[in-house]
């Protein structure tokens, strides 16, 4: 996507972009580069000795059926989290947009989940769904439903998806709502006069206007689902039962941060980076074509 | 920490000599304890700081066990490491392999000419953290061992004599049957399944968990917990799970919430669960030794510990190591250990502390609190019951958890699950072996 | 369910009620965990650990919140709140400034290496801090930035979310505005200050909220780089209350502290809301 009207000069833009590039270089690329370099080694955690193994870490990983299975788990998990975080948020934002005055109370309540630190959110959901004693698990039990996410793979997946998406609903709501507020009233009013039904009008007229923000949220939510959910998974299921909720980045986290297997963890980061890099390029190249700026 | 800083300040001002204050050697101690345990640690540190004026310990909480270990590692790589670092027992092999990053406790003690007698420590506690030739690498700090917790009211409710013999799994089996027949819907649950039902099971029945003395004798160790004793036990538990007699509540100590709420009759969990159960249970409870399988040669041997130990890190000044030696010695003193043991349910690390506790009448007032100590010390540890020293052990436990879950849910039989866990775990051991060479 | 509604701007009758119902159901579901945390912060420990825990507040409010405010933490809650505030504002402001500038450069200029820089920046959307945490720690230690606000703030500014959002927004700004500015002979920075920045205020407000909360909720990074208790943040304070090993959690106090820690972000959201509502509504772009 390109702007047709641009300014001239190259020194000014370079100066403008310099701070971000500098910070990214020092605090992102250098450390990330170190991590990537480590993927060619089997190092000891303290950095005292390490053995160069070439691509062996990758061979080891890709030869492991459990690792390959976690690609599928990740795809399912990320899709579900993205949908569960975006669709309710859009729906609620549309509703809130219709209620100019009283919307304020709703909006204020809706934003609270986002104020819960992820480190605490996992605990909160586990607290509610703890097998048999968590308050929701208990009431489900009274209704005759035996909630057991520690052995039931579907329930485990459902629980980590909901717990991960929960705070993001608020996040997405905030952006969708802001974007809806920016849709010119005249467009909506014009559409209202011609009597088209609400949702059809919404999909044909309003949604295209929201496409830049939707695209932004899509990318950001997928990245979130891929990369920032491992804390919740660690707290609630530790990747189980069996490997039902072991997503790629959880394995990076648990092998590297918990298990101190830095070589394997670094190799997994590289694989992840390639995968998500590819995904992002695809998104920019194809999905963005459908975005109306 | 405020308390600590305040204590140090107090110590410095009461000395009333600026010289004494500046000459004080300060050392850093990073630990993983919060809440009640954190307060107890802060109290120990403050007592130490007030007890003398030469050294001052600055204790900092660095998150949970793995966060603390990572903080220590990151700090070491940047040359900012603390003097003393708390590491959980599964990190032992990682720390041991890090020659050049750690300074063995026996060396610290030797160089400081500290009055240090390794024989004063309880064999099966220190065994986990000593070399095969008996030299102590790290100081056991908080150690516990699994026991069987019994909800006496639940047994009575099912018409079972609450004092019934539960020392063997055969007896437990009978009681579980009765509980299930009486309509109890959680006859038994557990915490830390790998630690209790495989690691301790192996030690308790004197069968190897891994070759090479469970890893003590070499990095080329291989897992061996798919032997007949372990398979039989896991198969039996799988059977119980299928019949609704064993309720699986999660990989960590989630089962504790069920037991403390009075939902479950029997609970295999660490002896350190004592304080929590005492605080929250509104039923009559009892602590029993971990059951064993009658008929297995050598059973019951002794159980092994879990918990954390204190490692001294390399790269500091001799005077600071003296301070570290003084602090570790202080922590080992009978009074401090006896108090810690009584306050927390963790095991005392020295024999003297155990005796002091007995003299103080604690075991009489709190029946059952000595069960864990007896279970640990009844027999001298063998090569199979000293402890475990396996690299990447946290991940191996993760693999074991996955495979056991497959048994509990009926997806795999015990033999297949344990064979698979051994095979997958061995791959990790080989990687660890290469990283350490 | 809302097909009955006949006008998007209609605010009367059936449609209005249905909208309210939908909103209330949504809020109930989404707010329930917070409600439960609040309930847990007003009852006693035994009420929580014996199922089922109550779903209506109890009478221990004052006890639990007093305990949360005055005990069980390394430094006074006020200090931790102050540190969190500095860190969160630092991250939000820093990130907004550098992102506005770089997004402006990427969207409104053609310069050598533009594509390269574009991807360079966007790849930082990926790879969480935890994966590169040890090398990042080494960098910070090398700069002597352990136990400092700059050490808390800078590494977390290195992410492209905000740049990406501004790019998305700038692309929607009608070309005529830039064209007019160019015809008038306005310098690029003049256009940036006088036109682009005022138009971006909704997005700046939204981002400020998002980034403030992002900074506020950080846990692992502050934990690693602050060894001095006076640099602790509030989320560290909460996590420090969770027991390790086999100890039991003091739920009422943990929940009370969690609720306290939510208040500043929520206040930020509420005070920023005015900006969302006005936003671009009047300007009719």
Considering only alpha carbons, which residue of chain B is nearest residue A148? B249
Out of A131-145, A180-194, A233-247, least confident range: A180-194
| Predicted pLDDT of residue C276 | 59
Out of B209-223, B390-404, C199-213, least confident range: C199-213
Percent of chain C predicted with pLDDT > 70: 87
| Predicted pLDDT of residue B126 | 87
Answer whether B245's CB lies under 8 Å from B176's CB. Answer: yes
The Cα–Cα gap between A132 and A207 comes to 43
Residues of B in contact with C227 (CB under 8 A): 28, 30, 60, 62, 82
Q: How confident is the model at residue A103 (pLDDT cuts 50, 70, 90)?
A: confident
Beta bridge partners of A51: A42
Whether pLDDT at C148 is above 80: yes
Q: How confident is the model at residue B276 (pLDDT cuts 50, 70, 90)?
A: confident
List chains touching B (3+ CB pairs under 8 A): A, C
Considering only alpha carbons, which residue of chain C is nearest residue A272? C127
Q: What mean pLDDT is predicted for residues C166-173?
A: 87
The answer for residues whose C-beta is within 8 angstroms of residue A175's C-beta and 6 or more apart is A213, A216, A217, C206
Measured between CB atoms, does B62 come within 8 Å of chain C?
yes
Answer whether B209's CB lies under 8 Å from B202's CB. Answer: yes
Q: Which of A145, A146, A125, A259 is nearest to B248 (CA)?
A: A146
Residue in C72, C224, C249 nearest the CB of B71: C224
| Predicted pLDDT of residue C180 | 86
Whether pLDDT at C43 is above 60: yes
The residue count of chain C comes to: 285
Residues of B in contact with A50 (CB under 8 A): 435
The Cα–Cα gap between C261 and A289 comes to 42
Compare B14 and B309 and report the one with higher pLDDT. Answer: B309
Out of A190-199, A275-284, B125-134, least confident range: A190-199
| Predicted pLDDT of residue C218 | 87
Q: Which of C266, B365, C95 is nearest to A27 (CA)?
A: C95
Angle at B98 between CA B95 and CA B100, to 5 degrees: 130
Residues of A in contact with C202 (CB under 8 A): 178, 181-182
Domains and CATH numbers, chain B: 3-144+305-359 (3.40.190.10), 146-303+390-436 (3.40.190.10)
CB pair distance less than 8 Å for C269 and A108: yes
Whether pLDDT at B273 is above 70: yes
Alpha-helical runs (H) found in A99-115: 103-111
| Predicted pLDDT of residue B13 | 38
Mutation site, C13, C130, C264, interface A, largest A CB count within 10 A? C130
Q: What mean pLDDT is predicted for residues A253-270?
A: 85
| Predicted pLDDT of residue C74 | 66
Q: How confident is the model at residue C129 (pLDDT cuts 50, 70, 90)?
A: low
| Predicted pLDDT of residue C78 | 80
Chain Cα centroid distance, residue A192: 35
Stated as kind and residue range, the H or E segment containing B144 is strand B139-144
The Cα–Cα gap between B412 and B406 comes to 5
Whether pLDDT at B313 is above 90: yes
Answer whether A9's CB lies under 8 Å from C109's CB. Answer: yes
Whether pLDDT at B130 is above 80: yes
The string over B20-58, giving b where at least 16 C-beta atoms fall within 10 Å of a residue's C-beta and e elsewhere, is ebeebbebbbbbbbbbbbbebbbbbbbebbeeebebbbb
From the number of C-beta atoms within 10 Å of its C-beta (0-12, 13-18, 19+), residue B345 rates as: buried
User: What average pLDDT does the structure give for chain B?
Assistant: 90
Percent of chain A predicted with pLDDT > 70: 94
Considering only alpha carbons, which residue of chain A is nearest residue B262? A133
CB pair distance less than 8 Å for C210 and A178: no
- pLDDT tens sequence across C234-258: 888 887 777 766 778 888 988 898 8
Whether pLDDT at C73 is above 60: no
Q: Nearest C-alpha of chain C: how many angstroms from A224?
A: 9
3-class DSSP assignment, residue B55? strand
Question: Which range in B224-228, C226-230, C237-241 is most confidently predicted, on average pLDDT?
Answer: B224-228
The Cα–Cα gap between A91 and B388 comes to 55
- pLDDT tens sequence across A191-239: 655 555 677 778 888 888 888 889 889 988 988 898 888 888 988 998 9
CB pair distance less than 8 Å for A263 and B411: no
| Predicted pLDDT of residue A192 | 59
- pLDDT tens sequence across B327-382: 999 999 999 999 999 988 899 989 999 999 999 999 999 888 889 989 988 899 99
CB pair distance less than 8 Å for A263 and B437: no
User: What average pLDDT does the structure give for chain A?
Assistant: 86
| Predicted pLDDT of residue B9 | 39
Out of A127-136, B48-57, B100-109, B240-249, least confident range: A127-136
The Cα–Cα gap between B408 and C274 comes to 54
Q: What mean pLDDT is predicted for residues B48-55?
A: 94
- Whether cis (ω within 30° of 0) applies to the bond prior to B300 is yes
Alpha-helical runs (H) found in B52-168: 65-77, 92-97, 105-111, 123-126, 152-157
Compare C222 and B235 and report the one with higher pLDDT. Answer: B235
Residue spans of beta strands (DSSP E) within B207-332: 246-247, 266-270, 285-288, 306-313
CB pair distance less than 8 Å for A131 and B249: yes
| Predicted pLDDT of residue A101 | 66
Measured between CB atoms, does C194 come within 8 Å of chain A?
no
| Predicted pLDDT of residue A289 | 76
Q: What is the ipTM metric for this complex? A: 0.88
Measured between CB atoms, does B9 come within 8 Å of chain C?
no
Q: How confident is the model at residue C8 (pLDDT cuts 50, 70, 90)?
A: very low
Measured between CB atoms, does C53 come within 8 Å of chain A?
yes
Out of A269-283, B78-92, B186-200, least confident range: A269-283
Q: What mean pLDDT is predicted for residues A268-282?
A: 83
Q: What mean pLDDT is predicted for residues C76-97?
A: 91
Measured between CB atoms, does C141 come within 8 Å of chain B?
yes
Percent of chain A predicted with pLDDT > 90: 39
The answer for residues whose C-beta is within 8 angstroms of residue B427's C-beta and 6 or more apart is A60
Angle at B358 between CA B357 and CA B360, to 5 degrees: 65
Q: What mean pLDDT is predicted for residues C51-64?
A: 88
Q: What mean pLDDT is predicted for residues B121-128?
A: 87
């Amino acid at each position: 996507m390109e702007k047709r009207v641009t300014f001239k000069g190259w020194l000014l833009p370079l100066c403008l972009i310099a701070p971000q590039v500098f910070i990214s270089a020092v605090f992102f690329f250098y450390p990330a580069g170190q991590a990537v370099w480590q993927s060619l080694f089997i190092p000891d955690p303290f950095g005292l000795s390490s053995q160069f193994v070439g691509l062996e870490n990758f061979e080891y990983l890709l030869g492991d059926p459990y690792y390959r299975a976690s690609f599928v788990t990740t795809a399912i998990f990320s899709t579900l989290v993205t949908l569960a975080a975006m669709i309710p948020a859009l729906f609620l934002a549309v509703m809130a947009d219709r209620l100019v005055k009283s919307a304020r109370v709703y909006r204020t309540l809706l934003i609270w989940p986002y104020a819960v630190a992820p480190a605490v959110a996992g605990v909160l959901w586990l607290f509610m769904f703890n097998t048999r004693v968590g308050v929701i698990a208990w009431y489900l039990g009274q209704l005759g439903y035996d909630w057991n996410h520690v052995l039931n793979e579907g329930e485990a997946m459902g629980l980590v998806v909901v717990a991960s998406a929960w705070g993001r609903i608020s996040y997405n709501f905030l952006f969708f709502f802001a974007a809806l507020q920016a849709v010119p009233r005249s467009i909506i009013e014009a559409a209202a006069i011609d009597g088209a039904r609400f949702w059809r009008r919404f999909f044909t007229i309003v949604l295209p206007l929201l496409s830049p923000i939707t695209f932004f949220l899509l990318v950001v939510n997928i990245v979130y689902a891929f990369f920032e959910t491992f804390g919740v998974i660690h707290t609630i299921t530790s990747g189980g039962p069996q490997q039902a909720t072991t997503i790629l980045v959880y394995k990076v986290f648990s092998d590297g941060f918990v298990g101190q297997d830095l070589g394997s963890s670094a190799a997994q980061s590289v694989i992840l980076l390639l995968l998500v890099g590819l995904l992002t390029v695809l998104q920019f190249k194809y999905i963005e074509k459908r975005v109306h700026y | 920490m405020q308390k600590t800083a305040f204590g140090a300040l107090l110590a410095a001002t009461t000395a009333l000599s600026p010289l004494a204050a500046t000459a004080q050697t300060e050392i850093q101690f990073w630990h993983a304890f919060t809440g009640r345990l954190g307060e107890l640690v802060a109290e120990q540190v403050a007592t130490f700081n007030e007890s003398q004026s030469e050294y001052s310990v600055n204790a900092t909480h660095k998150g949970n066990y793995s966060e603390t270990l990572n903080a220590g590692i990151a700090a070491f790589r940047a040359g900012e490491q603390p003097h003393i670092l708390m590491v959980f027992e599964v990190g032992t092999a990682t720390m041991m392999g890090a020659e050049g990053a750690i300074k063995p406790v026996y060396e610290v003690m030797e160089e400081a000419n500290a009055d240090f007698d390794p024989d004063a420590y309880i064999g099966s506690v220190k065994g986990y953290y000593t070399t095969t030739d008996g030299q102590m690498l790290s100081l056991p700090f908080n150690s516990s061992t699994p026991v069987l917790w019994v909800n006496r009211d639940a047994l009575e409710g099912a018409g079972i004599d609450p004092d019934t013999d539960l020392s063997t799994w055969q007896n437990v089996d009978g009681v579980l049957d009765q509980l299930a027949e009486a309509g109890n819907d959680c006859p038994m649950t557990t915490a830390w399944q790998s630690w209790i039902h495989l690691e301790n099971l192996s030690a308790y029945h004197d069968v190897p968990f891994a070759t090479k003395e469970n890893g003590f004798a070499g990095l080329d160790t291989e897992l061996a917990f798919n032997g007949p004793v372990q398979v039989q036990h896991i198969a039996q538990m799988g059977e119980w799970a299928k019949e609704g007699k064993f309720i699986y509540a999660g990989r960590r100590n989630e089962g504790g919430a069920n037991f403390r709420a009075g939902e479950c009759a029997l609970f295999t969990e660490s002896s350190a669960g004592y304080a929590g159960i005492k605080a929250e249970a509104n039923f009559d409870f009892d602590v029993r030794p971990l059951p064993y399988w009658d008929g297995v040669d050598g059973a019951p041997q002794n159980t092994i510990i879990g918990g954390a130990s204190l490692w001294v890190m390399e790269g500091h000044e001799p005077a600071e190591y003296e301070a570290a030696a003084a602090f570790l010695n202080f922590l080992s003193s009978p009074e401090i250990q006896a108090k810690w043991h009584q306050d927390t349910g963790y095991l005392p690390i020295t024999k003297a502390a155990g005796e002091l506790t007995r003299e103080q009448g604690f075991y009489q007032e709190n029946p059952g609190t000595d069960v864990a100590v007896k279970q640990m010390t009844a027999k001298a540890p063998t090569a199979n019951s000293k402890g475990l020293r396996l690299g990447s052990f946290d991940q191996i436990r993760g693999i074991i958890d996955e495979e056991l879950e497959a048994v509990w849910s009926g997806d795999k039989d015990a033999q297949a699950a344990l064979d698979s866990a051994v095979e997958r775990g061995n791959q990790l051991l080989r990687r660890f072996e290469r990283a350490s060479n | 369910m809302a097909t009955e509604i006949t006008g998007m701007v209609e605010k009367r009758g059936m449609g209005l009620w249905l909208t309210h119902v939908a909103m209330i159901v949504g809020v109930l579901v989404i707010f329930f965990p917070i409600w439960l945390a609040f309930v847990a912060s007003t009852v006693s420990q035994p009420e929580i650990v014996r199922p089922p825990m109550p779903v209506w507040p109890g009478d221990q409010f004052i006890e639990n919140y007093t305990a949360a405010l005055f005990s069980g933490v390394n430094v006074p809650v006020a200090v931790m709140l102050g540190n969190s505030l500095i860190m969160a504002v630092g991250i939000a402001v820093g990130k907004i400034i550098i992102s506005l500038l770089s997004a402006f450069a990427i969207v409104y200029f053609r310069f050598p290496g533009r594509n390269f820089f574009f991807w360079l920046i966007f790849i930082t959307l990926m790879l969480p801090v935890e994966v590169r945490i040890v090398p990042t720690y080494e960098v910070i230690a090398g700069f002597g930035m352990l136990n400092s606000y700059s050490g808390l703030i800078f590494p977390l500014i290195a992410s492209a979310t905000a740049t990406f959002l501004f790019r998305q927004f700038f692309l929607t700004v009608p070309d005529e505005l830039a064209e007019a500015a160019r015809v008038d002979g306005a310098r690029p920075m003049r256009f940036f200050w006088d036109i682009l920045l005022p138009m971006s205020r909704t997005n700046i407000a939204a981002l400020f909220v998002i980034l403030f909360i992002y900074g506020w909720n950080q846990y692992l990074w502050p934990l690693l780089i602050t060894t001095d208790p006076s640099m602790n943040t509030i989320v560290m304070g909460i996590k420090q209350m969770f027991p390790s090993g086999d100890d039991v959690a003091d739920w009422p106090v943990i929940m009370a502290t969690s609720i306290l820690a939510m208040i500043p972000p929520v206040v930020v959201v509420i005070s920023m809301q005015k900006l969302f509502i006005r936003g671009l509504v009047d300007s009719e772009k």
